[in-house]
Amino acid sequence: MDIAFSSGAFLGSFIIIYWVSRRFASKGTPIPGPPSHPLVGHTFQVPVIKTWKYFERLSHQYGPIIKVTLTGHNFVVLSNAADAEELASIHKSTSYESNNLRLSLLPYGDMLKRQRAAFHQMLQPRVVGGYEGMQYNESLRLLVDLATSPTQYYRHFQRFPASLVFSLAFGEAINDDDKDLAAALEILNTFVRDINPNSHLVDTFPVLDLLPDFLSPWRAEARIKHQREIDLYGRLSLGVKTRMEKEAGLECFAARLWEQQAKLGLSDEEIFYIAGSAFIAGTDTSSITLLWFVMAMALYPETMKKAQREIDAVFNSATLPDFSRMHDMPYCFALVKEVIRWHPAAPLSIPHYSDAEDQYKGYTIRKGTTVIPSIWRMHHNEEEFPDSYTFDPERFLSNTDGTAVGDDSLAEGHYGFGFGRRKCPGQHMATKSTWIAIVRVLWAFNIETRQDAAGNPMKIDPEDCTSGLTVRPTEFPVDFVPRSATHLETVTGGEGRTKM
């Protein structure tokens, strides 16, 4: 018998047995969702492209909790923030976990607790102030890059957070030609591709994971990728350890982790993972947020001008903005929140899976279900955010709890950083980095839609974007025009650079 035929038969039997066992295990009140095919469920209905939009349409039709089945695997999509918060925090009987065991995507348990504690040590609001110097340096580098090669803006907005988080993690700045940055970005891109549901056949047919190694090439591939990460982050983290012996007071995540290794009970390998996780989790999301900001400014020039008027009232053209007046600029504060709301970097957050059966609002959420909080849908809930597709910072100009705008946290008022005990531990640092980059760019440049040869503005469409765990706009035609010769001079070396 031919090997291809026997492998095919083997696979086929696995799929049928798996499907039958799953099918007959169904019980409880059915969770609403579209009609499905008896054999493949919704596998061919759920699009791989712009999945968040598809779930948005389903939620209008079937309500805030919906279920789809991709060949035997259940996905529950939540469109209501209260449900996402409840399922992430309150239901102690069930852990909603990430379904990927690498890096920060760990299941609930001791290792996750230790890693979250370590992240907290490095990223709590009290500590984050210590990273302002790096944020000033890297955001100034962004301005210089935009002034020098404005047509490469897309790359500069990717480089800024990558370089910033790299410096924060390993305590050294990187150059454009740095091979470590290139290797880390390659790992990041592979990760973002791999974590997307349905990116591998085994995600669609989980039963395939039961196959032996010689029939599962993806397993060997995953091991190679994992080893590559460990090698890179291990080398960088151990490099920090060596430098600590010579450089007193070296400030970076890896140094903090080595200092607290015994207290936090971390193994060497965990330290490698944590430092690397910060890079993976913090780079793409931050870069995407800034690219959506650029698009919003091109599409809503009046909003940009309003923010610039506020900045100009506080910082003159010879003084680079810094954090000292953050709370005196409520419109800019609201604008940063609106960027995160308008186009969340991770519209379907990070998928989690339940490790035990749970009852919620009369529905049975079975063990092994992947739970997806749709941040996109929550940010386009017209009751909470009227006219939600329009970019409008004004919506954040009056806080419902009576606090003054700008006195609260940039991470509040929207759901861009996730929920409950898995909420983004980098939120305080990320929002400060986003704020300084946005305010400095608006202080220095007008962002204008590029014109074609006939002098007409070229098309910019928020619908032109990538699909995946994180969603970035595809490159769009904008120009960065320095606002005055003094602004430019300050960026490229003037006296206002006392605060880098």
What are the residues binding ligand HEM (CB under 6 A)? 98, 104, 116, 119, 165, 277-278, 281-282, 285-286, 289, 345-346, 349-350, 416-419, 422-426, 429-430, 434
- CA dihedral sign, ordered 31, 54, 284, 306: negative
Q: How far is the CB of 187 from ligand HEM (least distance, A)?
A: 15
Residue of 267, 298, 246 lying closest to 445 (CA atoms): 298
Tokens of 385: 């955010």
C-beta closer to ligand HEM: residue 69 or 277: 277
* Distance between CA atoms of residues 493 and 48, nearest Å: 47
- For the chain, the first-to-last Cα distance in angstroms comes to 71
Amino acid at the residue 47: P
C-beta closer to ligand HEM: residue 112 or 143: 112
C-beta closer to ligand HEM: residue 332 or 429: 429
Question: Binding residue per annotation — 424?
Answer: yes
C-beta closer to ligand HEM: residue 237 or 277: 277
* Distance between CA atoms of residues 351 and 158, nearest Å: 24
Q: How far is the CB of 74 from ligand HEM (least distance, A)?
A: 18
C-beta closer to ligand HEM: residue 19 or 338: 338
Q: Please give the C-alpha separations between residue 120 and each of 124, 425, 454, in angstroms, as whole numbers.
A: 5, 7, 54
Pairing state between β 478-482 and 370-373: unpaired
* Distance between CA atoms of residues 40 and 152, nearest Å: 45
C-beta separation of 84 from 379 below 8 A: no
Q: How far is the CB of 158 from ligand HEM (least distance, A)?
A: 13
Q: How far is the CB of 376 from ligand HEM (least distance, A)?
A: 11
CA angle 446, 452, 453 (to 5 degrees): 125
In angstroms, how far apart are the furthest CA atoms of the chain?
Answer: 81
C-beta closer to ligand HEM: residue 43 or 115: 115
Q: How far is the CB of 427 from ligand HEM (least distance, A)?
A: 7
Q: How far is the CB of 207 from ligand HEM (least distance, A)?
A: 26
Q: How far is the CB of 345 from ligand HEM (least distance, A)?
A: 4
Q: Please give the C-alpha separations between residue 450 and each of 154, 456, 458, in angstroms, as whole numbers.
A: 14, 8, 6
* Distance between CA atoms of residues 374 and 79, nearest Å: 5
Q: How far is the CB of 124 from ligand HEM (least distance, A)?
A: 12
Q: How far is the CB of 344 from ligand HEM (least distance, A)?
A: 7
The alpha carbon torsion through 174, 473, 466, 382 (nearest 10 deg) reads 130
* Distance between CA atoms of residues 308 and 446, nearest Å: 9
C-beta closer to ligand HEM: residue 143 or 410: 410
C-beta closer to ligand HEM: residue 287 or 308: 287
C-beta separation of 334 from 45 below 8 A: no
What DSSP designation does 498 have?
Answer: G
Segment holding 158, helix H or strand E: helix 153-170
C-beta separation of 343 from 471 below 8 A: yes
The alpha carbon torsion through 73, 74, 77, 78 (nearest 10 deg) reads -140
C-beta closer to ligand HEM: residue 290 or 320: 290
C-beta separation of 78 from 84 below 8 A: yes
Residue ranges for the binding site for heme? 424
Residue ranges for the binding site? 424
